[in-house]
């Protein structure tokens, strides 16, 4: 009986040993991560050239539109907006206008067609953006002459460098 008690005592002592006594065959770590703020917007490329067809005699040519490009957006933040402004353009608001319309991501809103200011200021094109990641959202441009100043129409094409900025509302 002494042998049985000795064996039981040895077995019971193994049950009460701390897990660290067996730490040779396993290990544990606490892994932490943090997500930095992400605020990214990109476009799919340049839109196709918009060709203005002649209008009726005595009238301005009709508005033309172009919808071949898209944009992508990712933000981990809340209450963001996309603004638009022009740089390096031959834009003259007395001669023509350029409008843009961005399809809003889920939960956001768009005012529709927005005339892009020609004075280096910006305009809101999407508002109410919060914690979203979407791609392939549509961009539509509209161009129209509003005046036909013969001196200003000496050039046969107009180039606009359009900038979209994701920023705080």
Q: How far apart are CA 105 and CA 136, in angstroms?
A: 10
| CA 100/CA 116 separation, integer angstroms | 7
Domain parsing of the chain, residue ranges: 39-168
Task: Report pLDDT for 167.
Answer: 97
Domain 39-168 has CATH 2.60.40: yes
Residue 108: its pLDDT value, please? 98
Question: CA-to-CA distance for 73 and 92, rounded, in angstroms?
Answer: 30
> Which pTM was predicted?
0.78
pLDDT for residue 107: 97
pLDDT of residue 147: 78
Per the listing, tokens 């100043």 go with: 149
Segment-wise mean pLDDT, segments of 10 residues, the chain, 169 residues: 59 57 78 92 95 82 94 97 85 83 98 90 96 98 81 68 94
**The pLDDT value given to residue 42:** 97
């Amino acid at each position: 009986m002494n042998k049985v008690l000795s064996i039981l005592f040895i077995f019971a002592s193994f049950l009460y040993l701390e897990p660290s006594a067996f730490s040779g065959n396993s290990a544990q770590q606490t892994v932490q991560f943090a997500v930095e703020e992400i605020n990214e917007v990109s476009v799919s490329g340049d839109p196709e050239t918009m060709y203005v067809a002649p209008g009726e005699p005595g009238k301005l040519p009709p508005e033309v539109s172009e919808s071949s490009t898209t944009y992508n957006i990712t933000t981990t933040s809340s209450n963001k907006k996309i603004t638009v402004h022009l740089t390096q353009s031959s834009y003259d608001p007395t001669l023509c206008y350029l409008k843009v319309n961005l399809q809003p991501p889920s939960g956001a809103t768009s005012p529709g067609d927005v005339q892009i200011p020609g004075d280096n200021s910006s305009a809101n094109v999407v508002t109410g953006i919060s914690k979203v990641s979407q791609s392939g959202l549509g961009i539509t441009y509209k161009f129209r002459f509003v005046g036909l100043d013969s001196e200003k129409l000496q050039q046969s094409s107009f180039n606009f460098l359009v900038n979209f900025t994701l920023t705080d509302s």
